[in-house]
Each structure stands twice: as structure tokens, then as C-alpha cells.
Amino acid sequence: MPVINVEELTDKDKAVMEVNQLKNEVKLERWLTSKCCEEIKEYIQAGVEEDILVKGIAEDKNPFKEKGGCVIC
């Protein structure tokens, strides 16, 4: 896909691009937000046992665990 410098386009070209974009968006299937939220919630709950962000990293497998303390003399 070629890169388009919008600053070099005429107002007509910009309007044509916007109309084409709107035509593409109209074709998209729309879903209710409540339905999407339920599906996302089910997806997250299905993988909660393996999700590191939910259960955390085991201390022995944590690559970011501090190796030693800092000593100031």
C-alpha cells in the first residue's frame, strides 16, 4: 500500500478518500457493546488459570527478581 502525503492532496481528493472510508465502514458488521463485553469476559475467565497478569509469576521463575540486596557503606 503506497504512502500518501495528505498535505499534497486537493480538497476534492481528501473528500473522495473520506467518502471511500465511510463506505468501507458502513459495510462492517456492528455488534452490541453488551454482547462484546460478555464474550470478552468469558474469554478472559476461560484463560484465567494460565494468565500471568492475573495469578502472578512464581518466585522461582521470575526473571526480574532481584538477585541480591543493595549495601551502602
Q: Return the pLDDT at 7.
A: 86
In terms of CATH, what superfamily is 11-57?
Transducin (heterotrimeric G protein), gamma chain (4.10.260.10)
User: Is 0.85 surpassed by the pTM of this model?
Assistant: no
Dist. CA 21–CA 38, nearest whole Å: 29
Per-residue pLDDT tens over the stretch 35-55: 999 999 999 899 988 888 888
Give residue 56's Cα distance to chain centre. 21
Residues 6+ apart with CB under 8 A from 44: 51
Q: Say if CB 35 and CB 42 are below 8 A apart.
A: no
Q: What are the angstrom distances between the C-alpha of 55 and each of 42, 47, 66?
A: 17, 11, 20
Domain range list for the chain: 11-57
